[in-house]
Structure formats: C-alpha cells, structure tokens
Amino acid sequence: MKTVLLLSTYPIISPRHGGQVRVANIAKTFEENGWSVTHLAVYEPEGYPPSTLGSNDVSFPAGSSFRKYKGTYVPLINDLLSGEFAASEQGGFAEILKKLPAVIDVIHVEQPWLWPLVLKIKQLPQYSNACLIYGSQNIEAPLKLEILDSYGIKGAEPVIADIEALERKAALEADIAVAVTQADYDILKAWGAKMPLLAPNGIAPWTAKAEVLESWKARLPASPWILYVASAHPPNFKGFNECLGSSLACIPPDSKLVVVGSVCEHLESTLRDSRWGQLNLSRLKPLYMLPDDDLDAVKTLAHAFLLPIPHGGGSNIKTAEAIYSGKYVVGTESAFRGFEQHLDLPEISVARTPNEFHAAIRKRLTGPATIDGNGPDRESRESLTWARSLESIPHAAIQVIEKKAQA
C-alpha cells in the first residue's frame, strides 16, 4: 500500500469551506484508490475549534513570532506565514516531524503555503524519494492582492511578490502540479510545471431526508425561489452589488433570494447599505450556517441557483453542485470557470451585466419549473462528482513513482 502525506493549512475533519471540502475529497479519493493517507494541517487555532481538529494537526499559534511578515503584522496573510513557521526548527517543524509516517511515497500539498515544509521534509533522507504533488487550487497572488485591496490594506506589494515566487517555485519543483481550471492549468504549464494535471472541483451527490424536506418546505416560499450558498470569503459578497446592480427587484414579491452560509451577515449588510436597502431586505431570506441535513434539503427545494462571483480564481464547488442539481443556474463567467464544458446546458445562464442578471433571474423565477419535465440527464453530470474529478491524481502519482523506480 502506498502512503500519501497530505498537507493543508486547515483541518478536514468537519469540512465547511471549499478548500476543506476539496482536501477531504482528495484524501477520500486516495483511500478509495488503495492508498494510506496521513493528513496534517498547520492551522490557525483562532479559526478552528478543537472539535474540528485531526490527531496530526499542528497549531500555528496566534502569539507566534512567525505571525509577523518581515517584522511587521500584515493582516490576512497567515496562510503565507504558516509555511515558514512549519519549516522552521523554532516553529512547528519539530512537532510535525513526530507526526510523519515512517514511509512517504507522495507528499501532496494543497495551495503553495506549506511548500517550504514540503522541501524541508524532502531533505530528510528517508523521504528524499517522495513524489511531490502541488495542488494549486487558485493562482493565489492576484487573488490575495484583490482581497488585500478590498480591505484597503496598503503596501502589500512585497507580500504579493513573495506569494507569486512561492507559487512559481512549487509549480516548477513539484513532480505533478494540479490545477482546478483550464486557465490555471495553462498558467502552471507556462511556469514550467513538469506534469500539469487538470482535476476540477467536484461535488458529493446529496439526498435530503423526507422529514427535513417537509420542514423546510413549510418555511420557504411556495413560489419558485433562487438559492445562493457561499462562505464569508470576500469575493463571495464584495462583488455581489457589482453583479446585481445593488438591487433585488428582479425577485418577484412572493419569492426570495435564499442565502445559506457564513456569507449571510456580509451580504445582508451589503444589501441593506445599498440605496435600495428596504427593497433588498424584502427579497432576502438569509438562513445563515446550516447543518448538512438542512442544507441538503434547501438545495433540493431550490428552483434555481445563483452564482454571483465576479472575480477570483479557482473553480467553485458551489458551481459544480449547482450544475449537478439540474436546476436553473444563473452566474457570472468567472463562476463557471473550470466548468466551461457544461455551459451549453439549457438550464444554465451566463450573465455579464446587472441587466443580464436581472433578466435571467426574472425569467427563471417566472418560467416553468425545469427545462425538461423528465429532470436532468444524470449520466452527463457524473463527471462532476469528486470521485471522477479527482481520480486522475492518484493515477498520475503511480506513474511518477513507477518512473522514479525505473530511473
């Protein structure tokens, strides 16, 4: 049995946000393909309660001197700083070392942040032959720049330069560089990746429990309504007004924009503070964070999915879920990044301007329940499941290991 060491900057015991879900599914895919998986997270303790931690996870303490970037505190870059912490003897490396399995065939790191740790482990003789996989998730430098800009954080140019250098280094040094979108794949290839691989985000098919479904049916509008599921990741709410022109007038009076996830508080405040605040609140139904059973029921009852993501790299897991549902989907071009092959489906509408968003939402919320009375064609959507979208990673790893063995 081959062994993979899977590294990330967040635990995956109770996956909530997109990054956690992807890493949890990478672990599952390796296991389903006969691998032994050791996952290790170097996490920020302020963001993850003890109940969500795995036995190998190592804390990057809030008081650590590694929380400073070149001697000063820069907000929102702890992910970048965690790499130096994890790879340093004065940081977390000693503790990490104790948790490593005796044999490692593959080190798979999600996002570039822990690449210094990967190299440090690889320097150890017993792990020197390990195959290195870099899972890029996003092209991080422009995304981080956008996030820092959106919070008005100035003077971050050196940080962005360091992130880009780290990404390029990881892409160049890894045996396999995994992209989630075709655009990211092209960038990794251009950066000199030895074996670029496209493994889009996928979904876990869901079914709702009947009693939960009934309970939500009673509480949600009887008329068709549109669902937006998102975390508090800034691109999920910062660009909302840009997409919908600050107005929810396209939602009929008896319908709602139902929102689930930690984006709710931010979105509520964004919509309330717009010029059309009262109108917007009359059309908004925030459900905040929901347990999985409830979320499954809400997704099952939705008439349409909204994907108002104007910027940001990566491919959105919520997009995969929306397409897989077979229901109407209205989203930006960016939201469909990585799923371009599905854009021809009749239930999908790509909107580029507020007018196009409004028209598409109005059409979907006042039109027939589904495009096809027989429901969606399930077979053509199976490629959207995690099992299918990620299976190329362990297969490619085996190839690399075999090639190394022959060399």
Interface residues toward other proteins, by CB under 8 A: 215, 218-219, 221, 223, 244-245, 247-250, 252-254, 256, 275-279, 282, 285, 354-355, 357-359, 361-362
Which residues are within 8 A (CB) of 166 and not within 5 positions of it... i.e. 6 or more apart? 80, 83, 112, 113, 115
Residue 301 CB, shortest distance to other proteins, in Å, is: 15
Cβ proximity to other proteins, 183 vs 289, nearer residue: 289
Question: d(Cα 292, Cα 208) in Å, to the nearest integer?
Answer: 9
d(CA 9, CA 160): 18
Exposure letters 241-278 (e unless 16+ CB within 10 A, then b): bebbbbbbbbbbeebbbbbbbbbbebbbebbeebebee
Q: What angle do CA 311, 317, 175 make, to 5 degrees?
A: 90
Q: Which residue has the tokens 């503070």?
A: 273
Spatial separation of the C-alpha atoms in residues 260 and 231, rounded to whole Å: 8
**Shortest CB 287 distance to other proteins, Å:** 9
Beta bridge partners of 228: 259
Nearest to other proteins of 2, 364 (CB atom): 364
User: Which of residues 215 and 383 has its CB atom nearest to other proteins in the complex?
Assistant: 215
Q: How far is the CB of 254 from other proteins (least distance, A)?
A: 5
- Closest CB to other proteins among residues 238, 285: 285
Q: Which CB, 103 or 359, lies closer to other proteins?
A: 359
Minimum separation from the CB atom of position 289 to other proteins (A): 14
Beta carbon nearer to other proteins, 256 or 318: 256
Distance CA 20, CA 199 (A): 16
**Widest Cα–Cα separation across the chain:** 68
Of 254 and 382, which has the nearer Cβ to other proteins?
A: 254
Half-sphere exposure of 164 (CA within 13 A, CB side): 12
Q: Indicate the residue among 100 and 249 with the shorter CB distance to other proteins.
A: 249
Closest contact distance (angstroms) between CB of 247 and other proteins is 5
Residue 128 CB: number of other CB atoms within 10 A?
Answer: 9
The tokens describing 135, both together, are 């899972």
Which of 142, 71, 82 has the alpha carbon at shortest distance from 109? 82
